[in-house]
Structure 1
């Protein structure tokens, strides 16, 4: 691997290039447009209007708006009020076609209960969420049943339309296209560099990179422009499926590498791969089930929110946290054990240090991005519709895509064979000079090939000493 031929100066240069590419992406995102475009409809209330439904018309929409949210904030006439009360909300959604008629999107009134939580000011309530747009405009009728029972006087109810900024949608299309092209080029170059080597000579990192790079291509979603050409929920769900598949494959890669790098010989499927697939598979199944559940339910009911409307959500949340905790503990165990057992092996130790350092940097940056994006509420209840509405600028979007893409590009560069790599077929009599030095190779550190120069030197010195004594 190229990893073995890099000096300390080269390693520093690799990290510097990684940070420069990531930083450039972040700066481009900071200069880019806001992700969410808002339009506020402020309504002044009096006692006679409280129980009457609100007829709200959305701004003109296009496919570049991607999704539509309607939220509301209840404003009380008294500040510093602490209040928690369930409010019944009745919603009806109609789509406006080009001729001005309003066919039913959902030919029924949706009755939902929402929690009105006020502390100094009331929290935002999501009234409806449309995952894809079939019409150029929407009319939504909203009425509240229990607001007249509050002990405080309601001053205003502010409704806000939220959509994706069309300018950001164009930026997203172009950057996804750029990352798709770059990933395709990196994948082809990496495969080309390994073409002359038998697969049994590949290291475990190289085998996983040959899987992760095509999955990264799907993560960047070459089918993303379909969401602007087809008025359907399918392209959006396909994007979520690709992202969850790549992220879970990355989690599985870390487990397999830190375990496989110290396992000599054959890695049995039952004992080596099955426990890892089971843990990561549960995470993937939970995320995909939750995403599909939300998408399909919103198609039939735009007011649906599984965090609020589903009694099983708390159980799903506990299940996900338990599995995620199990994964973290298992990964930490593998890392500690690998570092403790292999720290004296020169080449294996280098592989461990590089992967651990780069992965640690990526995880730290990811945590910082999440904290800046959600603040202290990052560990609180969030769900799909809310997560999508919390982007503030293009930097938060580009930072995630840029971070993972440049992380995989860096690994592909370091794990690709060096230019002076020797084929094992040419050096089959001396496996110490094999292309790779890992558990897949015939190289065993401390073997006779490493001890031979020392033994020859000792024999020469002993013979020289005997000749000196005889003289």
Structure 2
């Protein structure tokens, strides 16, 4: 008899090791103790209405952007107009000025909200329209003086001279009767209202003998102050909404232990704080302060929010399948991939911005190809970018393969997958539609973006290309996090269960009404009651 009891005890111990793989009990790997989220309590029609509101809000803001002001303000001055104004009629003198300068130009009056001054120089030559393309390397030297409207004293900002090896090399790419526009100046912070610029050329004498220069167009590009006002106001509106929702969401959660929060609730609480930073309460200081700190903060906030969302996606689609989320086995590879992307983007964006602030005549494309570190960052970014999305797709497919038949889990997966696909689609469309197809597009004022290749893949690079791009990027980010907060905040069922409701399809229905069987949980519900 003792032998039978001993054998029975051993069998019980043996099968108890496999019980967690047989039934979805509390110890099942796909179940965890968490608060009863609102997504469990609302009906299917409410979910559809919420998503419809999400899409409607985005479309409304998109139409506001399409009807918004133009981003850039263009003022073009021709060399022939300068000759007429200064009464220079001698053809030889005109030709010498076209080859070497100097051209003294007064920039149209700028305001603080103009953002920057960008000077584009376009050469027109005497050549055959069907002639082949060719290049010529030459040098441009620029002197800049600034003056306030109530002060007659001019203050030097930039002084370049050929005698002291000043100036910067540029490539003149010509085809037919015109050449590609050249960005000769990019002055970021506008401390003065009036600017005067003196421009000189060198190493164009031999080029002029074969292809006589007929005219030069000087185009000044700046941000439309109306667009600046639009960005400040909408950022402020988004900031206030994000702050209110963050306070409400965290107020709903604070009464519960942090360990009882679900994975989505923890991440949403963090992303709401990141969203407040993304909307950047210090943004107006970029126009009001002559400092690099506001520019650096803008880059840090936007990069951090973007990488936080990327990290959330891989953590969600992996973490929904398991509870053992240790730092070593679960988070390490994700932090390594996304963290490296964060560092690469942060370095490249800060380098670009600071170089433009310190060197107004910098040729960014030439500087990029001359920097081995930037080219290495570019290679690593593309490599990690591909690895990340392959990893994300694998996690997404695995999660749907394992959990698509489990009630509630499939709902969480479908909603998050829809939001992910929508966000990525809008981001890719912004990048594709805003990216210039050629350098000539920039002279039209359509773009003023960085020349670092891997930064051109980021939506945040194109937020100043048009009003529609700006509102598309910011609206999809804010609406995405806000609707996540609506779906994941603790439902009223959590108040009745002051402790916690287990995030298990068979146990989460304790507080559900009879109408909640729309998700196909009736069998699980009665099996639990009978058990």
Is 1:70 paired with 2:119? Answer: yes
Shift of 1:194: 1.6
RMSD, aligned CA: 2.9
Answer whether contact 2:117 2:187 (CA < 8 A) is retained: yes
1:346 aligned counterpart, secondary structure: coil
Q: Report the TM-score when normalising by structure 2.
A: 0.76
Deviation at 1:20, TM superposition (A): 1.1
Distance of 2:49 and 2:318 partners within structure 1: 28
Q: In the TM superposition, what whole-angstrom CA distance separates every residue of 1:416-446 from its partner, at most 9, and x where no partner exists?
A: 122233565556799754599xxxxxxxxxx
Shift of 1:219: 0.6
Q: For 2:366, which of 305, 308, 311 is the aligned residue? A: 308
Distance 1:5 1:383, change over 3 A: same
Asked if 2 retains the 8 angstrom alpha-carbon contact of 1:422 and 1:433, the reply is no
Q: Does 1:354 align with 2:415?
A: yes
Q: Distance in 2 between matches of 1:62 and 1:287?
A: 31
User: What is aligned with 2:76?
Assistant: 40
The alignment partner of 1:100 has SS state of: coil
Residues 1:88 and 2:162 aligned together: no
Q: Secondary structure at the match of 1:161?
A: strand
Asked if the contact 1:417–1:435 (Cα under 8 Å) also holds between the matched residues in 2, the reply is: no
**1:409 and 2:482 are equivalent in the alignment:** yes
Identify which of 286, 294, 302 aligns with 1:235: 294
* Structure 2 Cα separation of the partners of residues 389 and 333 of structure 1: 29
Deviation at 1:404? 0.9
Q: Which moved more, 1:247-256 or 1:421-430?
A: 421-430
2:467 corresponds in structure 1 to: 394
CA distance in 1, matches of 2:380, 2:479: 32
8 Å CA contact retained: 2:463, 2:469: no
Q: What is the CA-CA distance between 1:205 and the residue it aligns to? A: 1.1
Q: C-alpha separation between the residues in 1 aligned to 2:66 and 2:133?
A: 37
Answer whether contact 1:39 1:162 (CA < 8 A) is retained: yes
Q: Distance in 2 between matches of 1:138 and 1:51?
A: 22
Preserved CA contact (<8 Å) 1:128 1:304: yes
Contact 1:40 1:160 in 2 (8 A): yes
- Once residues 404 and 123 of structure 2 are traced to their aligned partners in structure 1, the CA distance between those partners, rounded to angstroms, is 60
Where do 1:261-300 residues align within 5 Å?
261-264=320-323, 266-300=324-358
Distance 1:340 1:324 in 2: 24
Residues 429 and 278 of structure 1: CA distance in aligned 2, closer, same or farther (over 3 Å) = closer
In the superposition, the TM-score normalised over structure 1's length comes to 0.85
Counterpart of 1:111 in structure 2 is: 167
2:110 & 2:462 partners in 1: Cα distance? 17
Distance in 2, matches of 1:406 and 1:384, equals 27
Deviation at 1:127, TM superposition (A): 0.8
Query: How much does 1:182 deviate?
Result: 0.6
The aligned counterpart of 1:453 is: 527
Q: Which residue of 1 aligns with 2:450?
A: 384
Q: Which of 80, 91, 105 is residue 56 of structure 1 equivalent to? A: 105
Looking at structure 2, the residues matched to 377 and 8 of structure 1 have their Cα atoms a distance apart, in angstroms, of 48
* C-alpha displacement of 1:253: 0.8
Maintained 8 Å contact 1:424/1:435: no
Q: Which structure 2 residue ranges, 5 or more long, are not aligned?
A: 1-36, 84-93, 440-446, 511-522
Q: CA deviation at 1:129?
A: 0.9
| Equivalent position of 2:11 in the other structure | none
Measured against aligned partners, the alpha-carbon deviations of 1:87-118 in whole angstroms (never above 9, x if no partner) come to: 32222332224423322213444422222223
Structure 1 residues 95 and 7, CA gap change in structure 2 (3 angstroms): same
User: Which of 341, 347, 350 is equivalent to 2:402?
Assistant: 341
Q: Residue in 2 aligned with 1:173?
A: 232
**CA–CA distance in structure 2, aligned partners of residues 191 and 249 of structure 1:** 18
Contact 2:494 2:500 in 1 (8 A): no
Q: Secondary structure at the match of 2:230?
A: helix
Structure 1 position 131, deviation (Å)? 1.8
After TM superposition, the structure 1 stretch with the greater mean CA deviation from structure 2, 86-95 or 333-342, is 86-95
Structure 1: give runs of 5+ residues left out of the alignment: 437-448, 458-471
Helix, strand or coil at the partner of 1:304? coil
**Does the 8 Å CA contact 2:185/2:362 hold for their aligned counterparts?**
yes
Cα distance change on mapping 1:38 and 1:211 into 2, 3 Å: same
Q: CA deviation at 1:377?
A: 6.6
Report the secondary structure of 1:74's partner residue. strand
